[in-house]
């Protein structure tokens, strides 16, 4: 079944989804679809008007999926090549993530980030993976402004120092937590940023012995925390 996202009205699809349903998927009146509001509710519905601008539907049934008992928030510095951060957003949403925040560090090469395209990518990934929760995406802030806003939950900063590495994220995190992980830019965190993060309550962790690209490290942290909370 095709899943569509409609955060507001529960009687018609957005213009983009209407066009996709009617023009691309060639759905017509009487066809069955699923619609989510991105806040945990999924509706089983039937198209009543196959209009490429305003595809209307009626709800037949609804189910609510509770939020996960843990939450993952990745705070990541945007990469110089925006394709890489777009890849991270898509894959993180598919794997499962509650929030993605962006920040600019001292070594960041990219200083401008527009959320509109990233939000579209996140929506597409949510629909592709048949999820009912839309992750929150935050506007980019300088790191020094972001740190004071994060005061709760288990907080980590991923860093691979030259000397003895810190504890691995998988071992450091405890199950059913509210996690926030800082992932630095391509030039890594500046020493002053590492110090400021630790003073703000972020514990240094490693993601493994290999040096990872920014987007790879962000996705690895996301998957490590998902795996930590998987019942085997």
Mean of the per-residue pLDDT values of the chain: 94
How many other C-beta atoms are found inside a 10 Å radius of the C-beta of residue 9?
Answer: 12
Kindly report, residue by residue over 16-54, the tens digit of the pLDDT. Answer: 999 999 999 999 999 999 999 999 999 999 999 999 999
- pLDDT band at residue 231 using 50, 70 and 90 as cut-offs: low
163's tokens:
């000397």
The class level of CATH for 3-64 reads mainly beta
Does residue 89 sit in helix, strand or coil?
Answer: helix
Kindly report, residue by residue over 150-196, the tens digit of the pLDDT. Answer: 999 999 999 877 776 789 999 999 999 999 999 999 888 999 999 99
Phi–psi pair at 47, nearest 5 degrees: -65, 130
Kindly report, residue by residue over 73-97, the tens digit of the pLDDT. Answer: 999 999 999 999 999 999 999 999 9
Kindly report, residue by residue over 47-70, the tens digit of the pLDDT. Answer: 999 999 999 999 999 999 999 999
- What is the mean predicted confidence (pLDDT) over 227-231? 88
Residues 6 or more apart in contact with residue 54 via CB below 8 angstroms: 12, 13, 15, 18
Question: What architecture does CATH give domain 71-228?
Answer: 3-Layer(aba) Sandwich (3.40)
How many other C-beta atoms are found inside a 10 Å radius of the C-beta of residue 36?
Answer: 24
- What is the mean predicted confidence (pLDDT) over 141-157? 96
C-alpha 109, offset from chain centre: 22
Does residue 8 sit in helix, strand or coil?
Answer: coil
* 107 within 8 A of 187, measured Cβ to Cβ: yes
> Could you tell me the residue ranges of all domains in the chain?
3-64, 71-228
- Confidence (pTM): 0.93
Q: Is 130 left (phi over 0), alpha (psi -120 to 50) or beta?
A: left
6's tokens:
């409609």
């Amino acid at each position: 079944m095709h899943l569509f996202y409609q955060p507001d009205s529960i009687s018609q699809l957005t213009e983009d989804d209407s066009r996709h349903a009617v023009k691309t998927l060639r759905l017509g009146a009487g066809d069955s679809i699923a619609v989510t509001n991105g806040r945990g509710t999924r509706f089983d519905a039937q198209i009543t008007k196959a209009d490429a601008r305003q595809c209307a539907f009626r709800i037949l049934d609804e189910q609510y999926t509770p939020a996960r008992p843990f939450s993952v928030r990745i705070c990541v510095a945007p990469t110089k090549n925006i394709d890489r951060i777009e890849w991270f957003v898509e894959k993180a949403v598919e794997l499962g993530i509650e929030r993605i925040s962006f920040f600019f560090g001292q070594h960041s090469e990219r200083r401008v980030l527009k959320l509109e395209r990233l939000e579209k990518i996140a929506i597409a990934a949510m629909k592709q993976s048949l999820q009912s929760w839309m992750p929150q995406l935050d506007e980019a802030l300088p790191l020094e402004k972001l740190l004071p806003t994060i005061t709760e939950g288990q907080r980590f900063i991923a860093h691979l120092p030259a000397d003895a590495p810190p504890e691995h994220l998988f071992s450091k995190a405890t199950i059913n937590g509210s996690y926030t992980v800082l992932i630095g830019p391509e030039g890594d965190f500046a020493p002053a940023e590492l110090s400021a993060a630790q003073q703000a309550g972020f514990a240094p962790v490693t993601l493994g012995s290999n040096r990872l690209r920014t987007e790879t490290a962000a996705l690895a942290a996301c998957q490590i925390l998902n795996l930590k909370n998987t019942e085997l």
